[in-house]
Structures are given as structure tokens and as C-alpha cells.
DNA sequence: GCCACTAATGCGACAAGTTGCAGCAGAGAT
DNA sequence: ATCTCTGCTGCAACTTGTCGCATTAGTGGC
């Protein structure tokens, strides 16, 4: 079991993934629009976590005319394509992960607010148990465990 | 390991808990207001899960002048007192549990939308591992595991 | 019953999304 | 280049909360 330090996920984004987005959309009969180009450009230079609101903000830097609903709808599409994945922070707010980052969940202390990444190996037992006994397939990226860290328990 | 069926948590609410709320507030120098009486009355006849918005709605049935921020702030106080606990649904929306219901988390299939309760025994391994190795104390009521159920995996 | 202390309410503004709908515009066909 | 089909955008309204601030009103003490 290993927990990486306070929320600093790295992992170089594969440029080929971004080049293929247009084709992946076309293959499904979907379109490659200016608004989508902006969001994909933003995602291409994003590592680790981003909230939906942050992505909207970053898109606005490139195109001030950016409309939130368009960004959120495009994120839904990209999630379908398996290019991003979202979870929810301890407050329920959206948190996006840009793939092919290693998929992980989060551990959050509600007392001090610290966050740690929860790797696949940390939850192996739970994932296997749910699968074996109920056929349930866990989406690790959507897992946020809230509680209290050692320091805050005194 | 046992999963109760689709989201129908029962568990009789202990009336003594409700009678004691007033005193528990006073002990902390907090006040027993008409607005709080309404929310506590609503909670007293609530079983299983409720979203924050639903609670606001039910309070409005008793007192149409109910203000959302007051309800949410009172819920925070009651959570401090250990009378309710909240988690977040798969969409991040708040979900309240009225104690002394058995504390549990949730399992949610993002394909068909079904929800199952996740009992303490289901996550024993994870809880113990995080505690032993990192001193992290999991708040089970705040755990929502998202993924795909057996039926939806085909 | 009246005072003083301060917790709690009401209200308005704001944040983060979501949804329906009319009109716009990609993409392939001709 | 133009046409057509339909996916996508922009917009506006709405949902679910959150926050700061002036005002109100519980409470305990007198
Ligand atoms: Mn929460
Ligand atoms: Mn979600
Ligand atoms: Zn902590
Ligand atoms: Zn399902």
C-alpha cells in the first residue's frame, strides 16, 4: 500500500491521444468544433486534477466567449470517449482527471482539508470483494474517501 | 459481506434522540428556534436517505416561509451533534442519513442508476488497512462507490 | 418582566452545474 | 460551391448550495 504525498499527481500526457480526438469524434458521427478544439487544447496541457469550473476558466483565457454549458457538455462527450474521467471532491464538486494518468481515487481529511491520492493497490481488497461477490466493477476515479487523518485524530 | 436491496434503509428512529436535541443545543450555548423545531420534526419522521433539497421542501410544507440557507446551516449544526450525517450521491448532490440508522455507504451503478447500501462489514478490509497503515479513520457514511453492476456489464 | 449578549435568521449575491429549445454550422454527398 | 442532415452552440432559466451582513430574537441573569 502506498499513498503519494499531498495531491501532486504527475504523468506526461500522450500527445498522440490529443491528435486522435478529432478522428474519434468523427468515427462516432460527432463534430470537431472550435469550442471543442479549445477545450482539448486546455486538457492537453493539464496534469493531475482540475475542477470543471477551472476548465471553464482556462478555456475562457483562450476564448473569452466560452460558454460553461458547452464546456460541460463536451466534457461529457470526452468522458464517453475515455479521454477524461471525473469524480467528486469531498464537497461534491466535480474533479476531472486527464487520462492516461494512472487512475486513482482520493483520501480527504475533513478536519484539516488535506488530500492524498489513493492508488489502485490501496483498494485492491475492496475492488476484488465487490467484483467476486456481486459482479460490481468499481470506478476508482470516482472514489473519494472522507475521514480524519492521523494528525487530526491526535 | 452483504448488500441490502435497492436503497430501502429502515431502522426505527429513536424518539428520545429527538427529545434531547433541545438540551444538546443548550449544552453548547446554541438555541432552540422555531426553524430548528420544524427541521427536527421533519427529520424525526424521515427514514433512510434524503437530499438537502428534499429536506428544504419538506420543511416548506410545514412552514412555507422556510429559507434554504437556514435549513442547510441547521443541518451542519445537527451533523456536529452527531444527529445526522451527510454523504454525496453519484452526482455530487448531498444525501443525508438520519441516525441512529446503521452507518453505511453506497454503491451506485452509473449505467442503470441503481443504488445499494454498503454496510460496514463490506468495507472492513479497506477501513482497517487505511487505519493500520496511515492512521486514517474512514467516514463510511460519506463513501459512495460508483461503477457498473453485474447486469450492466452483461 | 426587562436587559444584555450573541446566536440565528432573512436576504441578496454568488458559485457550479444542468436542461430545453431555437438557430447555427460541421461534414459528407452531389 | 451548394445542399442537407443533424449535432452543437448560445442563451436563459433553473437547481442546489454557500457566504457575508444587517437585523432579529433566544437565553440566562437581574
Ligand atoms: Mn461532503
Ligand atoms: Mn459523478
Ligand atoms: Zn487532517
Ligand atoms: Zn446497473
Exposure string of B62-71, with b = 16+ CB inside 10 Å and e = fewer, is: eeeebeeebb
Instruction: Examine the domain organization and report whether B93 and B112 are in the same domain.
Output: no
Per-residue pLDDT of chain A (154 residues), as tens digits, is: 334 434 334 444 566 778 899 999 999 999 999 999 999 999 999 988 899 999 999 999 999 999 999 999 999 999 999 999 999 999 999 999 987 677 888 999 988 888 888 888 888 888 998 998 889 999 988 899 999 999 998 7
Nearest nucleotide from residue B57 CA, by C1' atom: D16
- pLDDT of B72: 98
Does the CB of B68 fall within 7 Å of any strand D atom? yes
Question: Using CA of residue A70, residue A105, residue B97, residue A53, what is the dihedral sign?
Answer: negative
Range of the domain at A127: 104-153
Answer yes or no: do B50 and B90 share one domain.
yes
Neighbours of ion ligand 1 (CB under 5 A): A 90
Instruction: Tell whether the model's pLDDT for residue B134 goes beyond 50.
Output: yes
Tally of domains in chain B: 2
One domain for residues A7 and A62: yes
User: At B110, which CATH number?
Assistant: 3.30.1490.190
User: Do residues B78 and B8 share a domain?
Assistant: yes
Please give the full DSSP string across A77-105, using - where no structure is assigned.
HHHHTTSEEEEE-TTS-EEEEETTSPP-E
* Residue-level length of chain B: 154
Give the Å distance between the CA of B88 and the centre of ligand 2.
10
Co-location of A129 and A75 in the same domain? no
Q: Cβ distance A135 to B153 under 8 Å? A: yes
Choose the final residue of a domain: A98, A118, A134.
A98
Pair B109, B83 in one domain? no
Q: B40: CA distance to ligand 3 center in Å?
A: 30
For B143, nearest residue in chain A (alpha carbons) = A145
Q: Which of A73, A98, A123 is the last residue of a domain?
A: A98
Which nucleotides of chain C does any protein CB come within 7 A of?
7-13, 15-20, 25-28
- Across the range B112-139, mean pLDDT stands at 88
- At A6 the pLDDT is 40
What local confidence, expressed as pLDDT, does residue B15 receive?
66
- Cα of B4 to nearest chain A Cα, Å: 12
Pair B49, B124 in one domain: no
Verify that A82 and A108 share a domain, yes or no: no
B111 with B90, same domain? Answer: no
In this structure, are B75 and B23 located in the same domain?
yes
Order of strands, sheet of A137-138, starting from the edge strand that comes earlier in the sequence: A137-138, B144-148, B105-109, B115-118
**Cell representation of residue A42:** 486546455
- Do A33 and A66 have their domain in common? yes
In this prediction the pTM is 0.86
Which residues does A contribute to its contact with B (CB < 8 Å)? 1, 3, 88, 90, 92-94, 107, 109-110, 122-123, 125-126, 129-130, 133-139, 142-143, 145-150, 153
Ligand nearest to the backbone CA of B152: 4
Of A22-26, B54-58, B128-132, the least confident:
B128-132
B139 Cα to the center of ligand 2, angstroms: 19
Q: How far apart are CA A85 and CA A26, in angstroms?
A: 21
Ligand located closest to A153 CA: 3
Question: How far does residue B90's CA lie from ligand 1's centre (Å)?
Answer: 12
Mean pLDDT of chain B: 87
User: Given a cut of 90, is residue B69 above it in pLDDT?
Assistant: yes
CATH number at residue B46: 1.10.10.10
Identify whether residues B92 and B133 lie together within a single domain.
no
Among the three residues B55, B72, B98, which one is the final residue of a domain in this structure? B98
Task: Provide mean pLDDT across the span B134-146.
Answer: 91
Chain A environment of B107 (Cβ under 8 Å):
130, 134, 136
Amino acid at each position: 500500500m502506498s499513498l503519494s504525498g499531498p495531491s501532486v499527481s504527475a504523468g506526461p500526457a500522450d500527445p498522440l491521444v490529443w491528435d486522435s480526438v478529432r478522428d474519434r469524434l468523427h468515427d462516432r458521427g460527432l463534430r470537431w468544433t472550435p469550442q471543442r478544439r479549445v477545450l482539448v487544447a486546455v486538457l492537453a496541457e493539464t496534469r493531475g486534477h482540475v475542477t470543471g469550473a477551472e476548465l471553464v476558466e482556462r478555456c475562457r483565457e483562450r476564448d473569452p466567449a466560452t460558454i460553461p454549458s458547452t464546456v460541460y457538455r463536451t466534457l461529457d462527450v470526452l468522458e464517453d470517449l475515455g479521454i477524461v474521467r471525473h469524480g467528486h471532491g469531498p464537497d461534491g464538486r466535480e474533479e476531472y482527471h486527464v487520462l492516461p494518468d494512472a487512475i486513482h481515487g482520493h483520501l480527504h481529511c475533513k478536519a484539516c482539508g488535506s488530500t492524498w491520492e489513493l492508488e489502485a493497490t490501496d483498494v485492491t481488497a475492496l475492488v476484488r470483494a465487490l467484483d467476486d461477490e456481486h459482479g460490481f466493477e468499481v470506478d476508482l476515479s470516482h472514489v473519494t474517501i472522507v475521514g480524519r487523518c492521523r494528525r487530526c485524530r491526535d
